């Protein structure tokens, strides 16, 4: 095949370790091991698609069998071994796709073939791609040969699903985790390819390709190949054209959409979303991109433009930074929760498009509620100031310092006074000073589930300020620690540490109540009135005792 007719992903496939991008540590480690003649029985390469697992396997095979040695590995004028390995036609280097040959019989044939030494090369090498597809029996058949192979035999495995490979196999291999390619490095790489191909594409279009490829070199080259073929030779690929080709919409639309949501402009919000939908963007893709924008709004002050991995340009970055300073973190977190729940909702609704529109409307109502809360608070403060000003005018400024202070105190008390007696609105750091206080607060806050867990399944070992040590039974909810920690922080504005102890601790509240009930029943059973009742009603059974209010006091 003519080299010019190949797709870019094959045409620019690395031939040596120097050609690999983003995997310098892996390349250096393997090169040093071959130079030192400390070659493992098996290599295992793992990572996402398109980052060079199979390519690295072939380069390792070349490094082991090159006639010029690893230090003078063929680059241009290939020796017979390197040329045959590159063409996948070497008699001693067998490439096998585990996805099509998964059975134990295929592995037995492989083992049988391994009994014979190499024909023309130094090592006989088996490259098994997508090795996780082998059956359990096939892996078991491979174990012995993998652990103690002949000196001339080497295995090279590649997989995207490392967790599916038995640990007994992984432990017999030298494992290399190939990382995603950094955005800046991948950008420079495809920019160089574009120039070699005399293609015309703007840097913004190339950055979009990098963004969509998610660190995969093969994906980036495939997208670049598609983009350069979509336009005629005289037309430059700009950002707008690239977005249309890849079905990717401009992030600035989402930023404008978010700004309009905060302003509550429903018609404009729905109009923008429908334009995005008409571009062919799926509802789930829209929600995921919306979540990404939310993340930037929440954390923009701790990010740099480079750390956004080309998701944002300079203008978008500054715009998000300006808007984020006007939005409370609580609102952004609520938006995030609504977006996650809407993502789950898409799986159960028939018309996902309508579900997204309702999601956006809900966000507008949520932001307006938060805005009204702030306005009410400002009006309340303004009313207090007006009362003080009126009093000063009536009574005179000099003699009224005490009265003014009293009004301030009353106003502050009114502001923090709960509308309902059982509800706690103000954050009080000294609100919880004992385990009993904690249960009472759960009751007042209507956190019934937490109250139940504390009373039924928790045994108190030690209670200190901001630290609770407990033991528990098997029925304790798995999310208990996360939930109680979150609520304690919400109620006291302080971090609390919940620790588990091996000590048994006190009886649970329910156990104490049961013991107290049993004691009361036993006490009543020894009373005269009980004995008199039992004489009259011998079949009666005492099941509960309740004290009246006077006796309780």
Give a yes or no: residue 376 inside a domain: no
Do 166 and 187 lie in a common domain? no
Do 221 and 164 lie in a common domain? no
Give a yes or no: residue 381 inside a domain: no
Do 127 and 20 lie in a common domain? yes
- Return the number of other C-beta atoms located less than 10 Å from residue 421's C-beta: 7
Query: Quick one: which of 463, 474, 461 has its CA closest to 500?
Result: 461
238 SS3 class: coil
Give a yes or no: residue 407 inside a domain: no
pTM over 0.75? The answer is no
Do 28 and 156 lie in a common domain? yes
Do 263 and 350 lie in a common domain? yes
Tokens of 423: 């509800």
Point out the domain boundary residue: 214, 246, 278.
246
98-112: string of b/e by CB count within 10 Å (b at 16+)?
beebbebebbeebbe
Do 265 and 200 lie in a common domain? no
Helix, strand, coil percentages, rounded to 5, for the chain: 60, 10, 35
**Burial of 327 by CB count in 10 Å (0-12 exposed, 13-18 middle, 19+ buried)?**
middle
- Per the structure, the count of domains in the chain is 5
Point out the domain boundary residue: 158, 177, 196.
177
Q: What is the DSSP string of 130-165?
A: TGGGS-HHHHHHHHHHHHS--TTEEEEEEES-GGGS
Low-confidence residues of the chain: pLDDT under 50: 371, 375-376, 378-380, 384, 388, 391-392, 394-404, 406-426, 550, 552-553
pLDDT at 553: 46
pLDDT at 192: 92
Range of the domain at 493: 435-500
Query: Quick one: which of 173, 143, 178 has its CA closest to 156?
Result: 173
Query: Quick one: which of 317, 51, 58 has its CA closest to 185?
Result: 51
Give a yes or no: residue 427 inside a domain: no
CATH number at residue 66: 3.40.50.300
Which strands make up the sheet holding 458-464, listed edge to edge? 458-464, 467-472, 497-500
Do 209 and 158 lie in a common domain? no
pLDDT at 306: 60
Do 16 and 139 lie in a common domain? yes
The distance from CA 290 to its chain's CA centroid, rounded to whole angstroms, is 15
Going by C-beta distance under 8 Å and a sequence separation of 6 or more, which residues neighbour residue 516?
none
The CA-atom distances, in angstroms, between 472 and each of 450, 480, 505, 506 are 14, 11, 9, 10
Going by C-beta distance under 8 Å and a sequence separation of 6 or more, which residues neighbour residue 186?
21, 22, 210, 213, 215, 217, 220
Give a yes or no: residue 263 inside a domain: yes
Tokens of 27: 């390349």
Do 19 and 163 lie in a common domain? yes
Point out the domain boundary residue: 132, 152, 177.
177
Do 518 and 458 lie in a common domain? no
CATH number at residue 439: 3.30.300.180
Give a yes or no: residue 102 inside a domain: yes
CATH number at residue 339: 1.20.272.10
207-238: string of b/e by CB count within 10 Å (b at 16+)?
bbbbbbbbbbbbbbbbbbbebbeebeeeeebe
Give a yes or no: residue 526 inside a domain: yes
- Return the number of other C-beta atoms located less than 10 Å from residue 38's C-beta: 9
The residues with which 129 forms a beta bridge, in sequence order, are: 97, 158
Do 163 and 304 lie in a common domain? no
Give a yes or no: residue 378 inside a domain: no
pLDDT at 527: 82
CATH number at residue 227: 1.10.8.60
Do 345 and 278 lie in a common domain? yes
């Amino acid at each position: 095949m003519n080299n010019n007719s190949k797709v870019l992903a094959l045409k620019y496939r690395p031939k040596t370790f120097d050609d690999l991008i983003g995997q310098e540590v892996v390349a250096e480690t393997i090169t040093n091991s071959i130079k030192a003649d400390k070659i493992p029985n098996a290599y295992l390469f793992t990572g996402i698609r398109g980052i060079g697992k199979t390519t690295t396997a072939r380069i390792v095979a070349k490094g082991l069998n090159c006639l010029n040695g690893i230090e003078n590995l063929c680059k241009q004028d290939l020796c017979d071994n390197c040329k045959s390995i590159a063409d996948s036609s070497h008699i001693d280097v067998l490439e096998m796709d585990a996805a099509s040959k998964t059975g134990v019989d295929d592995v037995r044939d492989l083992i049988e073939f391994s009994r014979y030494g190499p024909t023309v090369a130094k090592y006989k090498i088996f490259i098994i791609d997508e090795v996780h597809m082998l059956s359990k029996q096939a892996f078991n058949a491979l174990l012995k040969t993998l652990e103690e192979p002949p000196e001339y035999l080497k295995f090279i495995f590649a997989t995207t699903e490392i967790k599916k490979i038995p640990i007994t196999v992984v432990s017999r291999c030298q494992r290399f985790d190939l990382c995603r390619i950094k955005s800046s490095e991948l950008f420079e790489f495809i920019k160089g390819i574009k120039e070699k191909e005399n293609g015309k594409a703007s840097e913004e279009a190339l950055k979009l390709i990098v963004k969509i490829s998610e660190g995969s070199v093969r994906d980036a080259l495939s997208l670049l190949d598609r983009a350069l073929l979509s336009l005629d030779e005289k037309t430059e690929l700009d950002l707008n054209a690239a977005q249309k080709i890849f079905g990717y919409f401009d992030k600035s639309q989402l930023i404008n959409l978010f700004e309009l949501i905060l302003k509550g402009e429903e018609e404009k919000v729905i109009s923008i979303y429908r334009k995005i939908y008409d571009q062919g963007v799926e509802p789930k893709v829209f929600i995921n991109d919306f979540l990404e924008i939310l993340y930037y709004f929440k954390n923009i002050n701790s990010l740099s433009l480079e750390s956004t991995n080309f998701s944002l340009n300079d203008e978008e970055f500054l715009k998000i930074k300006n808007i984020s300073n006007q939005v409370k973190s609580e609102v952004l977190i609520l938006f995030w929760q609504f977006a996650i729940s809407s993502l789950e909702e898409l799986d159960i609704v028939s018309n996902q498009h309508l579900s997204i529109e309702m999601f956006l409307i809900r966000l507008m109502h949520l932001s307006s509620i938060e805005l009204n809360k702030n306005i009410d608070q400002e009006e309340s403060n303004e009313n207090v100031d007006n009362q003080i000003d009126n009093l000063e005018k009536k009574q005179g400024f000099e003699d009224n310092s005490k009265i003014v202070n009293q009004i301030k105190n009353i106003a502050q008390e009114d502001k923090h006074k709960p509308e309902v007696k059982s509800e706690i609105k103000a954050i009080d750091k000294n609100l919880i000073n004992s385990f009993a206080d904690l249960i009472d607060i759960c009751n007042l806050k209507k956190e019934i589930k937490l109250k139940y867990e504390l009373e039924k399944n928790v045994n108190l070992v030690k209670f200190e300020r901001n630290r609770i040590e407990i033991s528990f039974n098997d029925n304790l909810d798995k999310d208990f620690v996360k939930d109680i920690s979150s609520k304690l922080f919400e109620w006291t504005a302080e971090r609390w540490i919940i620790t588990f102890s091996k000590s048994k601790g006190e009886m649970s509240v329910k156990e104490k109540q049961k013991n107290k009930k049993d004691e009361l029943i036993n006490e009543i059973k020894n009373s005269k009135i009980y004995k008199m009742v039992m004489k009259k009603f011998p079949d009666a059974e005492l099941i509960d005792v309740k004290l009246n209010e006077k006796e309780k006091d």
